[in-house]
Amino acid sequence: MSDISSGADSTEEGPPGRRPGAAQQNLNLFRALRNHRNYRLFMTGHSVSGTGTWMQLTAQDWLVLELTHGSGAAVGVTAGLQALPVALFSLYGSVLADRYRKRSVLLATQAVMGTLALVLGLLTVTGSIEVWNVYALAFGLGLVIALNKPAWMSFTYEVVGPDDVSNAVGLNSATINTTKILGPAVAGVLIAAVGTGPVFLINAASFGVMELVLYLMREDEMYFKAPAARAKGQLREGLRYVREHRDLLMVMAVMLLVSAFGMNFTVTDALMSREVFHTEASSFGVVTAMMAVGGLAGALLSARRRTPSLQGMLVGAAAFSVLVIVTGLMPSYWAFAAMHLPTGMAMTAFNTTASSLTQLSAPEEMRGRVTGLYVLASIGSNPIGYPLIGWLAETFGPRSSLIIGGFASLVSVVATVAFMAPMAAGPLARGTALRP
């Protein structure tokens, strides 16, 4: 392995001693799309399927509130049940990501997720849906995500290779945030017009598009070696690798704690919109879209960087935590919605930097396992965080869930830095990243 300086790159930006012009900088921003046909296909499917996914998440929260007459705890339980399997099984999914072709894993898991959305939609449009059905299907979706997510994240590296992976991760985040704008906005309109059921059916259809683009990708243009052979101790090997690289361990620790305490907008946005500001479904979608606009800006800024740094990740985590607290203090609906712009920007900058550091720091033969640990850190804490935030909201009011959560997130970042920074002396801590 070799170190890559955060201020250098193997590709020239222009003639020596001359800064690239605006047009060339724009090309650099979208270089992964320009350089890789497979990535263009991947982004097409990601855009369609991602929009459907955010439509379903918005409709699912609203459906649970309708079925339970506004129970914040029920929304938290639903989100927690969807995240619980990730905590339990994502490490097993990470082993599968190294053991099998990642595209094959994605083809199978996308098909199952589409089927689950179809079942939820049919139950809802026929009037047969009950809250326990939503709980069960959310848990089932979580099981599939546990197998899908490590392969999905590490697949980006295989599609674009090491030179463009940081750019691709930033563009992936930009796509997620764009679909996060479109999905909730469209869902809000559809919920008001025809109810939640058709939203779930549209999401089921969107998975078919993702299946098609995965099938159309050219395998001879991908960057991968033969999958790792089945062997004992593969999971322990991945755990040992992260433990021995303290800078990478620090990335995981910060992501785990900030996700658990601060990233609970799945629960808090619905509660603040409905219970504090007494808005309708369309206004709830606007709040989510505002965060996505900020997230899109953060993702595009991250995509312009050649190499991410640990320091940048920590600044993003701290800024996000402070902004969550401020969001919880906003006195009006529009002030609350407006605060989602900088909050989304900070959150996406933090997430994108952490994800890029993880992928660039993992050796190819165990990238799936290291990425799986990152998935566990980013999502696996939600089964505790979501119900806890829901309980805080129901007991002390929705505002308290944001204020207390943001404060706990900030304290966690400071404590992690104070405890682990002296031990994190690897290339990430020096502002560089490892690459095979």
CATH code for position 84: 1.20.1250.20
Mean pLDDT of 216-230: 75
How many residues are listed for the chain in this entry? 436
- Between 108 and 87, name the one with better pLDDT: 108
226 band by pLDDT with thresholds 50, 70 and 90? low
In this model, does residue 383 exceed pLDDT 90? no
Which CA distances in Å does 79 have to 74, 75, 259, 267, 332?
Answer: 9, 6, 13, 8, 26
pLDDT of residue 430: 45
Distance, CA of 423 to CA of 436 (rounded, Å): 23
**122-151 pLDDT per residue, tens:** 999 998 999 999 999 999 999 998 888 888
pLDDT of residue 45: 92
DSSP 80-139: HHHHHHHHHHHHHHHHHHHHS-HHHHHHHHHHHHHHHHHHHHHHHHTT---HHHHHHHHH
Closest to 86 in 3D by CA, of 316, 361, 385? 385
- 294 φ, ψ (degrees, to nearest 5): -65, -40
pLDDT of residue 427: 46
In this model, does residue 9 exceed pLDDT 60? no
Amino acid, res. 21: G
Task: Assess if residue 18 is contained within a domain.
Answer: no
pLDDT of residue 281: 63
In this model, does residue 108 exceed pLDDT 80? yes
Task: Assess if residue 276 is contained within a domain.
Answer: yes
pLDDT of residue 5: 29
Task: Assess if residue 26 is contained within a domain.
Answer: no
13 band by pLDDT with thresholds 50, 70 and 90? very low
How many folded domains does the chain comprise? 1
In this model, does residue 18 exceed pLDDT 50? no
- 435 φ, ψ (degrees, to nearest 5): -150, 135
Contact between residue 51 and residue 183 where contact means Cβ atoms under 8 Å apart: yes
Please return the burial class of 236, using the count of CB atoms within 10 Å of its CB with bins 0-12, 13-18 and 19+: exposed
Highest mean pLDDT pick, 35-39, 260-264, 304-308, 323-327: 323-327
Contact between residue 213 and residue 45 where contact means Cβ atoms under 8 Å apart: yes
Task: Assess if residue 17 is contained within a domain.
Answer: no
319 band by pLDDT with thresholds 50, 70 and 90? very high
Distance, CA of 189 to CA of 194 (rounded, Å): 9
Task: Assess if residue 224 is contained within a domain.
Answer: no
Distance, CA of 69 to CA of 71 (rounded, Å): 6
Q: Which domain holds residue 138?
A: 32-217+232-435
Task: Assess if residue 245 is contained within a domain.
Answer: yes
Rounded to two decimals, what is the model's pTM? Answer: 0.68
Question: Quick one: tokens of 365?
Answer: 């033969």
Task: Assess if residue 22 is contained within a domain.
Answer: no
Task: Assess if residue 12 is contained within a domain.
Answer: no
- 129 φ, ψ (degrees, to nearest 5): -70, 140
